[in-house]
Structure 1
Amino acid sequence: MLIKKPDSIKSSEITSHSDYLRRRDFLKKGLYAFAGLGLSGIAEALVKAPGKNPAIANLADAGFSVDEDLTPYDLVTSYNNYYEFGTGKSDPVENSQAFESRPWHVVVEGECEEPGEIDIEDILSGITQEERIYRLRCVEAWSMVVPWVGFPLATLLKRFKPTARAKYVAFETLHDAERMPGQKRAVLDWPYREGLRIDEAMHPLTILATGLYGELLPNQSGAPLRLVSPWKYGFKSIKGIVRIRFTEEQPQATWNMNNPREYGFYSNVNPRVEHPRWSQKYHRVIGGGIFSSKVKTEMFNGYADEVASLYTGMDLRKHF
């Protein structure tokens, strides 16, 4: 098992964020996968033996890293959208402190040969987790650069053997208003739902995140499982996943259901498609006094080389 339960991690084992940031010199040179390591020891292991540890594989030039400054940990984990814990940016960190992400089970169903319920520990058993340094672009026109810990979504999906009828993958967040107090208000139609086309879900860039900055994923960031597809707006990265369903028809997605004129099903980062409240041509990078100067937004959030072929022939203004 690669991830330790929270109560099994000693404070002395956790790498400080300042030490983690000193890895930047070699992080720029590539991305390193790791296996057989507790999350708290990942950064230390990479610092001591980058490229020498047999459990670490070099994944450079795969689109899994960016040559940009990381957003500081305290901003990544305190500036959040997670309506299950409140609609303000600071609400999630304040209202999720008592949330317990273990035990945790995920139901996988629909168009697959081997549906069932799987425990988080079974999900992680035998999986080689990786660090992926991705840009995160919010539809509100701000961005972060986050060092996620996780594994390709495809690795999990293939275990359930989707059939030829599986054209999409649907996701649902936990619905428990006692544990997630924001759900006591009908600001959205709970539970939170999202979906991807099957080829998007199987794409190598798409991961299920279990941690960030070499530590377990904080509650406010979507513990214990969060979807990350870096070429899409952040609200597609559904948090606290408890259900995955293979479907033949396009599934429901919460913000698309809430306001289809403003939020498309695909929600790819596209500076040529304007949102009525936030121009998508530019965005502000979180950090350096909360916001730095404006930066020009790139198509697919800078991942066009990796994902543009998924949408060949599609009108991305119509299918936004």
Structure 2
Amino acid sequence: MAHRWTNTLTHADVTPRAAFLNRRQVMAGLAGVGLAGMAQGAAAQETLEPNTWEEITSYNNFYEFGTGKDDPAKYAGALTTEPWSVKIDGLVDNPGDYDFKDIMSEMTVEERIYRFRCVEAWSMVIPWNGFELADLLNMAGVQEGAKFVAFETALIPDEMPGVRYPILEWPYREGLRLDEAMHPLTIMATGIYDRPIPNQNGAPLRLVVPWKYGFKSIKSIVRITVTDVEPPTSWNMSNPREYGFYSNVNPNVNHPRWSQASEREIGGGLFAKRIPTLMFNGYEKEVAGLYEGMDLSQYY
């Protein structure tokens, strides 16, 4: 019987690349020890089983390629991801267009495997390759007075059939408060199962914020702006009543049209039983302090 995952992960439980490359470990879904915290790492190994490559790469939300869950896998192959650059601007010491290969050459030593659950109305456990967003922001040099970080997805109409329709205001935009962006669990993902991240999952570079709903984790990023004002975000722009800026996983605050108290795990079959949603997606101990004193029904 599968165990319901109770989060025991901390920053110490990310897996060094070398520890993850053993094929037997990959196939068995074992997590490496990480930097420290062996007892916690062992508990995570017992309970945090990743979804298969096929599940992770065939059931996606990426509206630039269509609204169906299988549309990204069908159509995202047309996206040109090489060469790729990311513009970093705003309140930074080193603004400019950063080539993806140059970013990776800077981050390779620090790149690790992170095993995070992603939750929308359904959930997956995904072994991401990546590095902390904080490392990239530190490379750009965040200036005094910065409070937020804004992100934009690529907008390439010839390669993204979904942007022909006004589902959202394109390009896709997201944002984080600076302390959220600098948190060690906030990563820039570059791969899955130690393979390059597929286009439908956000190649070549996407955000992953494991305590927030999946739509917060913007894909195929081409611009990062450090700012002193709260940036617009796509779903909040589209329907502010239903989608707030924070988008934290909070089972106690329902979406206006459905309950968020439970979720369905991908991989459990068509009639998979719904399971209780955990506060902050199970990362309450790690991130609740970011929101101390805030009314989370107002700042949703």
Report the secondary structure of 2:247's partner residue: coil
Instruction: Note the alpha carbon deviations across 1:227-274, whole angstroms, 9 max, x for none.
Output: 000000000000000000001000000000000000010000000110
Question: How far apart are residue 98 of structure 1 and its match?
Answer: 2.3
Amino acid at match of 1:42: L
Please tell me whether residue 89 in structure 1 is matched to residue 69 in structure 2.
yes
The CA distance in 2 between the partners of 1:241 and 1:107, in whole Å, is 9
TM-score normalised per structure 2: 0.87
RMSD between aligned residues: 2.3
- Equivalent-residue separation in structure 1 for 2:207 and 2:172 (angstroms): 13
**Aligned residue identity for 1:165:** G
Distance 1:298 1:165 in 2: 34
**Partner residue of 1:33 out of 13, 16, 29:** 16
Write the letter of the residue equivalent to 2:132.
P
Could you say if the C-alpha distance between residues 200 and 291 of structure 1 is closer, same or farther in structure 2, counting changes exceeding 3 Å? farther
What one-letter code is carried by the residue in structure 2 that aligns with 1:186?
Answer: P
- Measure, in 1, the Cα distance between the counterparts of 2:90 and 2:65: 29
Alignment of 1:92-131 (within 5 A): 92-127=72-107, 128-131=110-113
Secondary structure at the counterpart of residue 175 of structure 1: coil
The C-alpha deviation readout for 1:283-311, integer Å capped at 9, x for no partner, is 11111224521111111000000000000
State the partner residue of 1:211.
Answer: 191
Question: How far apart, CA to CA, are the structure 2 residues paired with 1:93 and 1:82?
Answer: 9
**Counterparts of 2:42 and 2:293 in 1: how far apart (Å)?**
23
Letter in 2 for 1:213: Y
Deviation, 1:100, is 2.1
Match for residue 21 of structure 2? Answer: 42
1:63-82: CA deviation from partner (whole Å, max 9, x where unpaired): 99672221121111111000
Higher helix share: 2
1:164 aligns to 2:140 (yes or no)? no
User: Is 1:298 the equivalent of 2:281?
Assistant: no
- Assess, with a 3 A threshold, how the Cα gap between structure 1 residues 309 and 268 changes in structure 2: closer, same or farther: same
- Say whether residues 1:137 and 2:110 are aligned partners: no
Deviation at 1:44, TM superposition (A): 3.5
Q: Which amino acid aligns with 1:137?
A: V
The separation in 2 between residues aligned to 1:44 and 1:192, in whole angstroms, is 36
Report the number of matched residues.
Answer: 279
Change (3 A) 1:276 1:57: closer
Conserved 8 A contact 1:200-1:206? yes
- Structure-2 change in CA distance of 1:45 and 1:247 (3 Å): farther
Note if contact 2:13-2:34 (Cα within 8 Å) is conserved in structure 1.
no
Distance 1:64 1:208 in 2: 25
Structure 2 residue identity aligned to 1:131: I
Distance 1:190-1:59 versus aligned 2 partners, 3 A rule = farther
Contact 2:16 2:113 in 1 (8 A): yes
User: Which is further off, 60-69 or 167-176?
Assistant: 60-69
Preserved contact between residue 79 and residue 160 of structure 2 (Cα < 8 Å): yes
**Preserved CA contact (<8 Å) 1:64 1:205:** no
Cα distance in 2 for residues equivalent to 1:142 and 1:251: 27
Structure 2 residue runs without a partner (length 5+) = 1-11, 27-31
Q: Give the TM-score normalised by structure 1.
A: 0.82
1:42 positional shift: 2.7
Aligned counterpart, 1:71: 51
SS of residue in 2 equivalent to 1:117: strand
Q: Which moved more, 1:59-68 or 1:157-166?
A: 59-68
Give the 3-state SS of the residue equivalent to 1:195 in structure 2: strand
Q: Is the 8 A contact 1:65 1:134 kept in 2?
A: no
Asked if residue 267 in structure 1 is aligned to residue 247 in structure 2, the reply is: yes
Partner of 2:3: none
DSSP-derived class of the 2:92 partner: coil
Q: Which is further off, 277-286 or 82-91? A: 277-286
- Asked if the contact 2:264/2:272 (under 8 Å) is kept, the reply is yes
Indicate conservation of the 8 Å contact 1:63/1:303, yes or no: no
SS at match of 2:180: helix
